[in-house]
Amino acid sequence: MSSFIASKKDYEVNFFKEGGFERKTCPVCKVPFWTTNPDQKTCGEAPCSTYKFLEGRSWQKRFLTYEMREVFLRFFEKRGHGRVKRYPVVARWRDDLFLTDASIVDFQPFITEGLVPPPANPLCISQPSIRLKDIDKVGLTHGRHLTIFEMMAHHAFNRPDKKIYWKNRTVELHHEFMEKELKVPCELITYKESVWEGGGNAGPCFECIVEGLETATLVFMEYKVLNGKYIKIPMKIVDTGYGLERFLWLMNATPSSFQATYTWLVDKFRQLLGIEKPDDKLLLETAKISGEMGKIELGEGIRKLRSHMARKLGVSISYLEEAIAPVENLYTLLDHTRCLSFMLVDGLIPSNVGEGYLGRLVLRRAIRVLLRTRSDVPLSELIDLQVKYWQREFPEFKEEHQKILEIIELEVSRFMKSLDKGKRLIKKLFKKYSGNVFPLSEAIILYSSHGIPPEVMKEEAERERVKVDLPDNFYEIVASSHYSEKPKLERSIFEPYEKQLKGTPQTELLYYEDPYIDEFKAKVIKKLRVNGENWVVLDKTAFYPEGGGQPSDKGYLKIKNQRIPVLRVQVYREYVLHNIGETWLPIGAIVHGKVDFKKRRRHMAHHTATHILIGAAKRVLGSHIWQAGAQKGEETSRLDISHYKRVSEKDRKKIEKLANKIVMENRPVKSYFMERSTAEQRFGFRIYQGGVVPGKKLRIIEIPGWDVQACAGTHCRTTGEVGPIILLKTENIQDGVERIIFSAGEPAINYMQSLETVLHEISSKLKVPKGQVLPVVLKQIGYLKELSKEKEKTELELFKCKAANLLEKPLKHRSLEIVVDTVTGKDIKYLINYAAVITKMNLETLAFLVNVKQKETEFILLAGEKLVSKGFNCLKVGSLLSKSLSATGGGKIDLYQGAFKGKALGIDKLKEKLIKSIENSGFSL
C-alpha cells in the first residue's frame, strides 16, 4: 500500500473537460472517478459493482492472445511508438528484484533516472510479468488475480529538454484504443483516481474500468521514493499497463479469463485431471459476482465471501463449494504451469535461494493443488501442454522444451522425497506443542527450510492433536518475505570520505588502454588515511583494482630510490585508490609504478578462461546456464553456475574439451565500450553474467561467436594466450548451483606435470609401463578386497567365540544383562560389527564396548531388538553416560557412540558410571 497522496489537481486532464466527463465519488469505496455516464453511481469496479460485461454486449468480439497483443502493439506503432521485444521474467539486470513484475521494471533504474536513453521513445511492449503477492487468490477470483500475466504497455520518457507526451495524451491514447479500436462505448469507460508506487518511483494514476473490470492502469511517475520521502524527479514518465488477459476476458465474455487466455487448453486440462464439466449457467452466474472475492484483498475470509456468494445465487455454500472448488483447482493449475514454463524458459533454476526459491514455491504449490484433484496425471504432462501451447507465440519454448520437462520431473521427485522426511520431522516438532497452537513463524520456517506445505502441516496436526491455524494467504506471506531480498552490495570503506574525494580528477585507467602495460609514471593527486592505512589516488594507473571476482594487482611505487609496496587496489566511483600501508606520499609526488606482471598475467588468463568456460558450459549443459559467482586466482579459479543437477564426469570432460578447442582456435578477445541500452538490445541480458554493472556505458568483452559479457576485468588479447584449461573438479555448493574449479595457462601445465610425476612414480614402483598402470592397480585393488573379505570372515568367527564366552558371564543389573569388553586401537566399524554379533546371539542383551586409543577412548552401546521393545533407549542412557564422562556423542534408540579425551578410565569405573546412567534414565525390566 502506497503512502503517497495526490491532489485533486493531479487528476484534472483537459481530455476529461473537453470530452464531457464528470468527476464523481463512489459511495462504496469513497474513491473519485471520471465518467460520461450521468446515471453511473459507483466507480464501476468490482466489488463496488458486478461484472456486467459478462452479460454479453454487441461490441464484444472474439480474440486470441496473439491477436489481442498484435492489435495493441500495431495501434501504438501507428501512433509513433517503437516496438520493443519482451524482457526475461527473471530480472537479471536488477540488483533489487528477482522477477519482472511490470513492464516498467525493464527500464528501471538507469532509463527512469535519465542516465541511459530508452530503446525507443515513446515505446510499446508486451511484457510477461510475474507477481506472487496474490498467489493464494489465484483461481478464487476467476482470473482477477494471477501469478503470471502479460502487461501490454506504452511508455514515454519526458526529459526537461525533450517532452514526448504526458497525462492528456496518455488518457487520449487509451480512450482511442478502447473506443475506436475495440469499439467499447464511451459511457462504459470509467477512470478511477488512484496512486501507484514501485521500484523506487511513485505518482498519481488512473485505473481504467469497463463494466466492473479494471483493464488498464495509467501511471504518471514524477517522484522518487528515498527514505520514505517523495522527491520530484526531472524525468516525467508515462508508465501504463494494459492487462492482456483482462482484455481477452472483456472481449470474449467468458466465465473467467482462463477460457479466454487458454481456449482449448482448459478442456484438455479438465479431462486429464478428471474434473467433471461444470454447470455452464452456474459458472457464468458465479463469474458475474466473482468480483465479490476481490474483498479478499481487504482481509475478508474465503468462507465468509463464499457464503455471501451462495446466498446471492440462491444455493447452499456446500453445493457452491462442491461445484466450484474443482474448477478453481483447474484455474490454479493453468496459471501455475504457465508461470513455471516462463520461469524455466528464461533460465530460472528451482532452488532454496534467490529467484530459484520463488520458482520452487510456485512449483510445490502446483504439486499440492494437483494432489488435491486426486488425479494421477504427472505435473510434467501439464507443463508439456503449456510449452506446446505457447511455442507459436514464443519460439524459445520449443528450443527449451525437453530441458523444462527434465527440471520439472526432477523437482517433483525431490519434493515427494522431502514430504516423507518432512512428515517425520513434523511429528517430532509437534510433540512440543501437543494441545497448543503451532505458531505461524514456526510454520514459515518449516516451509522455507524443509519445503513442508501448510496442507501437510494441517493433516499431521490433526493426528498429533496440535492446533495449526494458518492464514488463507500463507504462500503470499512466504513469497513476500523473500520477494525482493536480493543482497545489497557492501558499503565501501571510502564512502565516509566522499566529500574529501569530491573534486579530485578522475583516474586515467591505463589497464584498459593496454592490459599488458606493467610500468608507468604518475602523479599523486589525493591521499587518505582509512582504518589506519594510507591510500593514494594517482592521476593515472596500470594497477587493476579488485572487482568482478578478479583480485587487485600488486607491485610497487618507486620514488627516488625508495620502493613502496602496493598492497591492494580498490575502486570507488571514478577513483582508483592504492593501499601503501604505513608509507606516506606527498600530493604532487611523481612516482614510477611497477605491476607484478606474473600475477597479472595469470589473473588475465583465468579471467578469459572463465568467459570461455561459461560459453562451453552453456553449449554442453543447456542455455539455462548462468554464472552464479566466480573468483579468479593465480593457481586455480572457480566458476559457479546455475544447474539443476550434478555435472557428470562425462559432461565435465565435454566442457573441458570444448573450452580447449576455443583456446586452440586462437579467437580474438575484443574489448570496447557501448551504450547500455544498445548493448542490451544487441546482445540481450546474458551480458550480465557477472552481475549488474552500473553506468551509462558498459565495457563489453566479446569472444566472437562464443561469449559476450559486460565485464570490467583484464583479459588476454586472444583465446590462444590463455593456454590449456584443466577442469580440476566439480562440486555442488548449494541447491541449484554447481562449482567448477579449474586451472589455466602455466598453472594448468604445472598441474598436468605433477600428475605425470605421480604416474611415473607408480609405474616405477609397480615396474610396469605407464600405459599398463591402470589394469595392474585395478588388479591389486581386487586382491585387497578379497583379503578384506577374508579378514571380515575371520573377525566374525572371532566375535562369535568372544561373544559366546562373554554371554556366559555378563554384568548383571537387576534383570538386565550387559556384555562388557575392551579393545585397543580399533576403528568404529570393528566395534559396531562386534556388538552386532553379541546382540544377535541374545536379543535382550546390551553390548557395552570400549576402544582405548592413544589420545582418546571411544565407547558404544548397542541394544538387542527385544531389549529396545521393552523400552531401553541407548540415546538416553548414552547421553547421561557422556555427561558423566565429559564426553561427546550421539546416536538413536538402539545405538549410541561416544568418545572422551584424556587418561583412560579403568573398566570397573566405566561399569559403575554405566549402571548409574541406566538407573537415572528411568529404565527397569
Q: 82 by DSSP, 3-state: which?
A: strand
Residue 360: which of 368, 350, 371, 349 has the closest Cα? Answer: 350
Q: Give the Cα separation of 588 and 584 in Å (integer).
A: 12
pLDDT score of 489 = 56
Q: Any idea what DSSP says for residue 368?
A: H
Confidence class for position 329, pLDDT limits 50, 70, 90: very high
| Three-state secondary-structure class, residue 458 | helix
pLDDT band at residue 577, thresholds of 50, 70 and 90? very high
Arithmetic mean of pLDDT, 798-824: 90
pLDDT recorded at residue 474: 84
Average pLDDT over residues 339-352: 94
- The proportion of the chain whose per-residue pLDDT surpasses 70, expressed as a percent, equals 96
Q: Contact 848/859 with Cβ under 8 angstroms?
A: yes
Provide the strand spans (E) within 211-357. 213-226, 229-243
Count of positions (residues) in the chain: 925
What residues pair up with 314 in beta bridges, in sequence order? none
Identify the DSSP state of 883: H
φ, ψ dihedrals at 34, nearest 5°: -120, 135
Grid cell locating 440: 505461524
pLDDT at residue 451 greater than cutoff 80: no
Confidence of residue 449 (pLDDT cuts 50, 70, 90): confident
Nearest to 893 by CA among 879, 910, 912: 879
What lies within 8 Å, CB to CB, of 613 at 6+ separation is 639, 655, 659, 725, 740, 742
Based on C-alpha coordinates, what's the Rg of the chain? 35
Which DSSP string corresponds to 751-787? HHHHHHHHHHHHHHHHTS-GGGHHHHHHHHHHHHHHH
| pLDDT band with cut points at 50, 70 and 90 for residue 903 | low
* pLDDT, position 738: 94
Residue percentage of the chain with pLDDT more than 90? 64
* pLDDT recorded at residue 460: 77
Write the DSSP string, 619-660. HHH-TT--EEEEE--SS-EEEEEE-SSPPPHHHHHHHHHHHH
User: Cβ(86)–Cβ(127) under 8 Å?
Assistant: yes
Beta bridge partners of 719: none
Q: At what angle do helices 317-345 and 354-372 cross, to 10 degrees?
A: 140
The more confident residue out of 782 and 481 is 782
Burial of 259 (0-12, 13-18, 19+ CB in 10 A): buried
Q: How confident is the model at residue 398 (pLDDT cuts 50, 70, 90)?
A: very high
Instruction: Calculate mean pLDDT across residues 516-537.
Output: 94
Band (pLDDT 50/70/90 cuts) for residue 482 is confident
pLDDT for res 292? 60
Q: Give the tens place of pLDDT for each residue, 265-323.
A: 999 999 999 999 888 788 877 777 766 655 555 555 666 777 777 787 778 878 777 88
Over the stretch 183-242, which tens digit does the pLDDT of each residue have?
A: 999 999 999 999 988 767 889 999 999 999 999 999 999 988 887 788 888 889 999 999
What per-residue confidence (pLDDT) applies to 285?
78
pLDDT at residue 615, as a whole number: 96
Cβ distance 658 to 759 under 8 Å? no
At residue 422 the predicted structure's pLDDT band, cuts being 50, 70 and 90, is: confident
pLDDT tens-digit readout, 150-192: 999 999 999 999 999 999 999 999 999 999 999 999 999 999 9
490 — pLDDT class (breaks 50, 70, 90): low
Full strand arrangement of the beta sheet holding 562-566: 562-566, 555-559, 590-595, 519-530, 533-538, 575-579, 568-572
State the Cα angle at 414 between 439 and 376, rounded to 5°. 95
Rounded mean pLDDT of 458-473?
78
Residues 656-700 have pLDDT tens digits of 999 999 999 999 999 999 998 888 889 988 898 877 777 788 999
| Pairwise CA distance, residues 732 & 459, whole Å | 34
pLDDT tens-digit series, residues 72-87? 999 999 999 999 999 9
Q: How confident is the model at residue 904, as a pLDDT?
A: 66
pLDDT number for residue 296: 57
| Residue 611 reports pLDDT greater than 80 | yes
Task: Please write the tens of the pLDDT for every residue from 111-155.
Answer: 888 888 899 999 999 999 999 988 988 988 888 899 999 999 999
pTM score: 0.82
Using alpha carbons, list the distances in angstroms from residue 65 to 57, 130, 245, 246, 262: 20, 17, 8, 11, 8
Task: Tell me the per-residue pLDDT of 403-418, one tens digit each, with 9 for 90 and over.
Answer: 999 999 999 998 888 8
Per the prediction, the chain carries an average pLDDT of 90
